[in-house]
Amino acid sequence: MNKVILSKLSIEELESYIVSLGEKKFRAGQIFSWIWAKNAKSFDSMTDIKKESRELLKQNCQILDCTIKKRQISSDGTIKYLIEFQDGLCAETVLMRFDNRSNLSMCVSCQVGCKMGCKFCATGKNGFKRNLLAHEIVSQILLCQMDTGLKITNVVFMGQGEPLDNFDNIKKAIYLINKNLQISIRRMTLSTCGIVPKINELALCELKPTLAVSLHAPNHDIRKQIMPIENKYDIESLKKALKNYNEKTKDRITIEYILIGNLNDTKDCAMELIEFLKDLKCNINLIPYNSVDNSAFKKPAKKNLMLFKYILEASGKKVTIRLERGADIDAACGQLAGKVNN
C-alpha cells in the first residue's frame, strides 16, 4: 500500500484525511505544526500525540517522500545536500551559513538538470530530466531544517534548473514557503536566465520575490556566445521586462554578472554595462567564474575584477562581489551537477 505523504497536504486536506483515519480533527493541527513549525523527523517525536495514534500514522503515512542521499560540509561551513526523490532522481540543495550573520539562506533547486544550456554552467551538462513538483521544492527546505534543527530565514531559487521554466510549481512553492514555513516574500530571491514572458507574468503575481537576472554580458553578441536563451529573448526585450518588473514591485532587481577571463571582463564591457543599466533600478552582483569540469572558460584576473567593480560603482549603483561558497565540495554557483557518484 502506498503511504500518504503528509507534507503534500494543505491543513484542510490533512483534516479530512485524519478524520478518515478515525482520529479527531484537532490532531491535524498538531501534526501540521510538528511538520511545518517544529521540524519533526518522525511520528515518535510528536510527543503530544498519543501512542496508538502515532502507530496508526506510522502504518498509513509518512512525513516526506524524499530523503537525504548525501551530505557534504565545506570548510567554510556551507552544507550541500543531495536529495533523492521518490522516482530515484536526485537534485542538490545548498545551505549557506555565515558565522557573522543571523540569517540562514538556502539555495534550492527547481529542476533535475536544465534545458537552457548556458555554456558556463554544470547543471545542464547531463541534459534535462524533469521539473520538480512544488512539494519537492519545499521539501528541500524541510529536510534541511530537520537535519540541522535550524530555521531557514532566506530562500534563493538559484540551485539547479531554471525556475521560470517550471513556473506553476515555483509559484506554488513560493506560496507554501510563505504560508506554511512563514518565510516572508521579501526574503525570497528568484534567479532567472531571462524568460521574458514569464518575468512579465511574475510581475502580475501577488507574491513577487526579489528578481535576480543572469545577464552576464553587456550586449547581444557576447550574451549569445554564452547563453542560448539570448536567441529567443534578446537583451533588449529582457530589459523591457525588467523595467516592467521595476514598475510593478518598486524594488530593485539584482543583476548577476559572471566575470569570465578575457570574455566579458574588459573595461569596455564595464562601460557598456553601465549604459545598458542606466535606467534600471538595480544592484549589481559580480560573480567570478567558478570552474566547471572540461570547460574552456577562465576565472577573471583579480585586478580585472576589482577594476570592473570600481568602474560600475562610479555610475552610482551598488556593486557587490559574490563570495564563493563551498567550492571545495562543488557547491558554488554553477557547480551543482547533481552527480550521484562523486
- For ligand SAH, the binding residues (CB under 6 A) are 120-121, 158, 162, 191-193, 214, 256, 258, 287, 289-290, 292, 333-334
* Shortest Å, Cβ 43 to ligand SAH: 35
Nearer to ligand SAH, 63 or 333 (CB): 333
Q: Which does 81 bind (CB under 5 to 8 A by kind): ligand SF4, ligand SAH, none?
A: none
Q: Which does 106 bind (CB under 5 to 8 A by kind): ligand SAH, ligand SF4, none?
A: none
Which range touches ligand SF4 (CB under 6 A), out of 3-11, 118-126, 280-288, 313-321? 118-126
Query: For residues 195 and 184, what is the distance between their CA atoms, to the nearest angstrom?
Result: 24
* Shortest Å, Cβ 217 to ligand SAH: 11
Cβ-count burial 58-78 (b if 16+ within 10 Å, e if not): eeebebbbbeeeeebebebeb
* Shortest Å, Cβ 324 to ligand SAH: 9
**Residue 338 engages ligand SF4 in binding (rule: CB under 6 A):** no
* Shortest Å, Cβ 279 to ligand SF4: 25
**Residue 123 engages ligand SF4 in binding (rule: CB under 6 A):** yes
Nearer to ligand SF4, 123 or 285 (CB): 123
Which range touches ligand SF4 (CB under 6 A), out of 11-19, 110-118, 199-207, 283-291? 110-118
Q: Select the residue interacting with ligand SF4 from 108, 116, 235, 259 (CB under 6 A).
A: 116
Q: Which does 124 bind (CB under 5 to 8 A by kind): ligand SF4, ligand SAH, none?
A: ligand SF4
How many other β-carbons are positioned within 10 Å of the β-carbon of residue 37? 13
* Shortest Å, Cβ 206 to ligand SAH: 22
Q: Which active-site residues does the annotation give?
A: 92, 333
Phi, psi of 190 (to 5 degrees): -115, 130
Query: For residues 143 and 286, what is the distance between their CA atoms, to the nearest angstrom?
Result: 30
Q: Which three cell numbers stand for residue 58?
A: 506510522
Q: Which three cell numbers stand for residue 306?
A: 576589482
Q: Which three cell numbers stand for residue 248?
A: 510593478
Q: Which does 290 bind (CB under 5 to 8 A by kind): ligand SF4, ligand SAH, none?
A: ligand SAH
What DSSP element (H or E) covers 314?
none
How many residues bind ligand SF4, per CB under 6 A? 11
Phi, psi of 282 (to 5 degrees): -155, 155
Report CA torsion sign: 99, 210, 121, 309: negative
- Closest residue to ligand SAH in the complex (CB): 334
Q: For 136-195, give the DSSP string.
A: HHHHHHHHHHHHH-----EEEE-SSS-GGGSHHHHHHHHHHHHHTS---GGGEEEEES--
Q: Which residues bind ligand SF4 (CB under 6 A)?
A: 114, 116-118, 121, 123-124, 161-162, 193, 214
